[in-house]
Amino acid sequence: MARFKNALRGHFVQAYEPGTEEPGEEWLELAKWISSISDDTQEGTEETAYYDGDGTPETDVISVAEAYNVEGLYDTEDPAQELIASLKRKTGVGRKVWHKVVRADGKKEWVGRATVSNIVAGSGDASAYETFSCNIRYDFIPEETDLSGE
């Protein structure tokens, strides 16, 4: 059984241009000074009991909103962090980015348009380093690509 450290999973962002259907080739990695990226996926469910069963409700997942919480220290010279920080005072389409996640073993990736929220770029105690955090939530189920070549 293979086990991989979380640091091997890659999270990348790039600016979104309204109306574009595909991201460009240049990705900015969210990695430097980032200490935690946690899965914050939300699922919508519906429960229904049917007469052809015994009356026990069945759960159906009706929506999946894949998201990640990013936390670390703020580096004003890191291009990925600065892209996200630049969105803090924007709304609507101004909060959109392309987001790519590469699995820790490098065999699969997921790419899609996403919305960045809860942006913190510089906060904390006077004696501490500035913090950085945000939530990146895909706007739809991201496209999966097999990178294994198999």
Closest CA to 38 of 12, 11, 15, 13: 11
pLDDT band at 1 (very low <50, low <70, confident <90, very high): low
What domains can be seen in the chain, in order of their start residue?
A: 6-146 (2.30.110)
Amino acid at 67: A
Q: What is the DSSP string of 46-113?
A: EEE--TTTTSPPEEEEEEEE-EEEEEEE--TT-HHHHHHHTTTT--GGGGEEEEEEE-TTSSEEEEEE
- 71 neighbors 131 (Cβ within 8 angstroms): yes
- pLDDT tens digits for 26-71? 999 999 999 999 999 999 999 999 999 899 999 999 999 999 999 9
Structure token pair of residue 55: 């009356």
Helix (H) or strand (E) holding 84: helix 79-85
Pairwise CA distance, residues 79 & 119, whole Å: 15
Q: What integer best gives the mean pLDDT of the chain?
A: 96
What 8-state DSSP symbol labels residue 17?
A: P
pTM: 0.92
